Structure 1
Amino acid sequence: MSAPRVSFEFFPPRSLEASFRLWETVRVLAPLKPTFVSVTYGAGGTTRKLTHEAVTTIGKNYGLNVAAHLTCVDASRAETLEIAQSYAEAGVTELVALRGDPPKGADRFEPHPDGFRDSCELISALKDTGKFTLRVGAYPDPHPEAKGDPMADVRWLAQKFRAGADSAITQFFFEPETFFRFRDRCRAEGIEGPILPGILPIENWQGVRKFAQRCGTPVPAWLDEAFTKAGEEGREEELSKELCIKLCEELMAEGVEDLHFYTLNKPTLSRDICAALGVHPQASLEDVA
């Protein structure tokens, strides 16, 4: 089984300490020659400027193919397309087009009066510019707004591809069967575009567990029990690495060739998992800087 192609997601820094953490993460993972890296938006578009600065700096200083997240939240159509244009002028050729989470304190997404109503409108407008490769989000477990309908997210993803998406990146999941079921439903719906599984190496189980609950991602009982026992034995990191490697290997055994890692700006675990999968540094930092 050959090594997979990998990509990584980073967060824009909100503080000096976070800035150091981001650049250390990029420094450690850049030599793995990812196919692309993405930089997120904060909820409600709160890190819009920071995201732009991080995207342009990573692309300029590390020679990486950077995909900037762009959402519909709290901006007019003109403002959103102006941001996209600024990315194009900076040499950015990929965007991750998302509806975006509601601003902090809001119960649900409400479009800006002059903004895009949903991700499909955003994707279509960005496609019309002819300037970007567009990646979109996908949900192997039902999105909280899908009301438990496993096909709702599949049908919506199909609309995203029809609107102009080039590929999709899934929300994280804990068991390979979750991804396989979703992939099968997508193919049955006529979706032929690439679907990259999103992989979340577990740095802190309680934090990931809370995040999963907010995202509507089911937590298997066996996983909860395994981390409880590992915590008692002081081997959480070892368990996390073992489980993530096993998840990736099972995905690869069923034809998955691309893996997208949510790094949380903590590079060591992602780097070690990649090494176990056969992905090793291809050049020194000086060669990629």
Structure 2
Amino acid sequence: MTAPDGVRRLLAEGRPLYSFEVFPPRTPQAERTLWRTLRDIENLRPGFVSVTYGAGGSSRDRTTDLAERIAQDTTLSVVAHLTAVGHSVTELRRIVGRYAAAGVRDLLVLRGDPPDDPRGPWTPHPQGLRHASELVRLVRRAGDFGIGVAAFPERHPRSRNWSEDIAHFVAKTRAGADFAITQMFFRADDYFRLRDRLDAAGCTVPVIPEIMPATRFRQIARFAELSGATVPADLAHRLEHARDDAEGHRIGVDHATDLARRLLDNGAPGLHFITLNHTAAALDIYRALGLPEPRRVPAAVGEGARHGVA
């Protein structure tokens, strides 16, 4: 397999890489909304779009189906999430093979959260894997995929200390990871401190910061609780006291834009926008940053185009 427009090559160009995250829809109406979102994203010609994987592998088939359809029916390059939790090694190999057959050439490899309680006890599948680094090795042996992994600006909630957290990250890169995407965060200094720790460990894998537009107080408080991210007190206060959704939107977009600009000004290799399957906030941030037109011109355009397959 080859990946002419894969994440590895795009990052190697040394210019900021812009990308978006979506998740598999559960209803026909949600599916229509998602595809409107994907067409809006496609018009920007981003570096890639990623497709998330439900906790415990709960959306495995829907994730795989969506990644296949995006790869086959749009000009977008796809990074498909793959988690170890809930799967045997045999199942994981089968999923990787299905992605390869569909033309998906980049995977975001994660250990994954327990299906019922993301903060609860983590139990491996009896015939599965225990660590993300093991899954990276499995994917690396399966073919010439670009492999991404997770990075945690505020430390993984299950890591006992920073030394343990960095050691796990380094193990993933030594197993074959090419790049990383961070967990959501809201303070630029958290990203810079993580980068400094990785530099000190001799780890040079590009780490793409994830941008989460915080536009609703209850929603962002819940996401922060699940992920362990810290919402700055000032941002939380302003969102909690926003007069309406429009003001909340403006507050969230302004904060995320300032965060993104500071990250780019200090050498971040790109930005990965969480969309929640709606483009309004992500596109408002994109435009507020004055980002240039994307550099990649697809070889084939239109319905049914299969992009990035040798």
TM (normalized to structure 1)?
Answer: 0.93
Structure 1 residues 259, 276: closer, same or farther in 2, change over 3 A? same
* Cα distance, 1:287 vs structure 2: 4.4
Cα distance in 2, alignment partners of residues 172 and 28 from structure 1: 23
Cα distance in 1, alignment partners of residues 260 and 151 from structure 2: 18
2:132 maps to what in 1? 119
Segments of structure 2 that go 5 or more residues without pairing to the other structure are 1-14, 304-310
2:269 maps to what in 1? 257
Does residue 130 in structure 1 map to residue 152 in structure 2?
A: no
**Residues 63-212 of structure 1: pairs in structure 2 closer than 5 A:** 63-104=75-116, 107-147=120-160, 149-212=161-224
* Cα distance, 1:70 vs structure 2: 0.8
* Cα distance, 1:233 vs structure 2: 9.8
CA contact (8 A) 1:141 1:150 kept: no
* Cα distance, 1:288 vs structure 2: 5.0
1:244 maps to what in 2? 256
2:10 maps to what in 1? none
Residue among 218, 222, 227 paired with 1:215: 227
What is the root-mean-square deviation in Å for CA atoms of aligned residues? Answer: 2.2
SS of equivalent residue, structure 1 residue 135: strand
- Listed one character per residue, the Cα deviations across residues 66-119 of structure 1 (whole Å, up to 9, x for unaligned) are 011111121110110111011111111111110011122582221111111111
Segments of structure 1 that go 5 or more residues without pairing to the other structure are none
1:47 maps to what in 2? 59
2:25 maps to what in 1? 13
Structure 1 residues 231, 156: closer, same or farther in 2, change over 3 A? farther
Cα distance in 2, alignment partners of residues 199 and 208 from structure 1: 12
Task: Give the aligned residue type for 2:76.
Answer: L
Structure 1 residues 231, 155: closer, same or farther in 2, change over 3 A? farther
- Listed one character per residue, the Cα deviations across residues 110-163 of structure 1 (whole Å, up to 9, x for unaligned) are 11111111111110111112331100111111222113x233322211110001
Residue among 20, 23, 31 paired with 2:35: 23
1:267 maps to what in 2? 279
Q: Identity across aligned pairs (percent)? A: 39
* Cα distance, 1:256 vs structure 2: 1.5
Structure 1 residues 151, 199: closer, same or farther in 2, change over 3 A? farther
Cα distance in 1, alignment partners of residues 169 and 262 from structure 2: 24
Residue among 64, 73, 76 paired with 1:61: 73
Task: Give the aligned residue type for 1:222.
Answer: D
Cα distance in 2, alignment partners of residues 240 and 199 from structure 1: 11
Moved more, 224-233 or 73-82: 224-233
Residue among 227, 230, 239 paired with 1:227: 239
* Cα distance, 1:16 vs structure 2: 1.2
Moved more, 149-158 or 133-142: 149-158
CA contact (8 A) 2:56 2:86 kept: yes
SS of equivalent residue, structure 1 residue 70: strand
* Cα distance, 1:230 vs structure 2: 3.0
- Listed one character per residue, the Cα deviations across residues 206-227 of structure 1 (whole Å, up to 9, x for unaligned) are 1111110121112221221222
* Cα distance, 1:272 vs structure 2: 1.5
CA contact (8 A) 1:143 1:153 kept: yes
- Listed one character per residue, the Cα deviations across residues 243-262 of structure 1 (whole Å, up to 9, x for unaligned) are 11111111111012310111
* Cα distance, 1:281 vs structure 2: 6.2
Cα distance in 1, alignment partners of residues 47 and 148 from structure 2: 13
Moved more, 273-282 or 234-243: 273-282
Task: Give the aligned residue type for 2:261.
Answer: E
CA contact (8 A) 1:32 1:280 kept: no
CA contact (8 A) 2:96 2:142 kept: no
Residue among 46, 50, 61 paired with 1:34: 46
Task: Give the aligned residue type for 2:155.
Answer: P
